[in-house]
Amino acid sequence: MTQDGERSMLKDRMIRIRLNKSYQQQRPLSYVGKCTGFNNYWVVVDGRSIMVARSQPSGAQVDAKPSIHVVPRNNIESIRVLPDDFDVNNIQISTEGQQLVITVKNSQPCFIGEIGEG
């Protein structure tokens, strides 16, 4: 796929970006929201960050308000395209076995980390 094809595929879509972990003890971090920009070096997401955190009852800490995040592409482990009607203002975290996931209406849950990683 061409770079322009990639950009048009993600631009204005709801996505979850999961970042690479640089060291064993690092907490898993994801960004969820609308992709507003994309190039060879950066992905821009207007949404919320989600960090796995044992101290939270849900197992994850979600930003209180959406904001704009510029994420370097070389730090990205994976990108999941979410349904266009995904509500970034009502993110629901649940567990499936040892996995923490975001509940996605009418779709597979979206993996964010393992219980105990945070």
Q: Is residue 8 within 8 Å of 93, Cβ to Cβ?
A: no
pTM for this predicted structure? 0.88
**Structural domain span for residue 26:** 3-114
Q: In the chain, how many domains are there?
A: 1
Percent over 90 (pLDDT), the chain: 73
Mean pLDDT of 44-50: 97
How far apart CA 6 and CA 4 sit, in angstroms, is 5
Is the predicted pLDDT of residue 1 greater than 50, yes or no?
A: no
State the residue for tokens 């994976």.
Answer: 78
Mean pLDDT of 59-77: 95
Cβ neighbours, 10 Å, residue 59: 22
18-50 b/e (C-beta count within 10 Å ≥ 16 → b): bbeeeeeeeebbbbbbbbbebeeeebbbebbbb
Q: How many CA atoms lie within 13 A of 52 on its CB side?
A: 23
Confidence tier at 24 by pLDDT (50, 70, 90): confident
Q: What is the pLDDT of residue 36?
A: 97
CATH number at residue 24: 2.30.30.100
- Among 21-30, 32-41, 58-67, 90-99, name the one with the lowest average pLDDT: 21-30
